[in-house]
Amino acid sequence: MLAFILRRLAQGVLVLVGVACTVFLLFNVLPGDPAALLAGQRSDLATKAAITADLGLDQPLPARLVGYLNDISPLGLHPADSAGRARYGGFALLPLGTKALVLKTPYLRRSFQSNKDVLRILLDYFPGTMWLALAAMLIASVGGVAFGVVAALRPQSWLDRVLVSTSVLGISVPSFVAAILIAVTFGFYWSHWTGLSLTGQLYETDPFTGERHLVLRNLLLPAVALGIRPLAIITQLTRSSMLDVLSQDYIRTARAKGLSRTATVLHHALRNALNPVVTAVSGWLASLMAGAFFIEYIFNWKGLGTVTLRAVENLDFPVVMGSTLFVAALFVLINIVVDVLYAVLDPRVKLS
C-alpha 180/C-alpha 297 separation (Å) is: 11
Higher pLDDT, 351 or 163: 163
Residues 44, 151: Cα–Cα separation, whole Å: 69
3-state secondary structure (DSSP) of residue 93: strand
Does residue 352 have a pLDDT over 60? no
Average pLDDT of the segment spanning 24-44: 71
Which range among 10-19, 29-38, 178-187, 291-300 shows the weakest confidence by mean pLDDT? 29-38
What pLDDT score does 119 carry? Answer: 92
d(CA 250, CA 267): 12
Tell me, what's the pLDDT at 79?
85
335 vs 168, more confident: 168
- What is the pLDDT, as a whole number, of residue 222? 92
CA distances from 247 to 147, 152, 181, 257, 349 (A): 19, 11, 40, 16, 21
Helix H or strand E encompassing 269: none
Residue 48 contacts residue 39 (beta carbons within 8 Å): yes
Q: Flag whether the pTM goes above 0.75.
A: yes
Q: What is the DSSP letter of 286?
A: H
* pLDDT tens string 279-331: 777 667 777 777 678 888 888 888 888 888 888 888 788 898 999 899 888 88
Q: Which residue type occupies 205?
A: T
With a cut of 70, say whether residue 95 has pLDDT above it.
Answer: yes
For the stretch 117-148, pLDDT in tens is: 999 999 999 988 889 988 998 999 999 999 98
The residue type found at 347 is P
CA torsion sign for 100, 106, 112, 117 is negative
The angle at the Cα of 40, spanning 39 to 43, to the nearest 5 degrees, equals 70
Handedness of CA 285, 291, 293, 294 (dihedral sign): negative
Residue 212, SS3 per DSSP: strand
Cα(345)–Cα(332) distance, integer angstroms: 20
pLDDT band at 221 (very low <50, low <70, confident <90, very high): very high
Q: 27 pLDDT exceeds 90?
A: no
User: Confidence band (pLDDT; 50, 70, 90) for 263?
Assistant: confident
Distances (CA, A) of 38 to 44, 54, 55, 81, 318: 12, 11, 10, 24, 12
Neighbours of 202 (CB within 10 A): 19
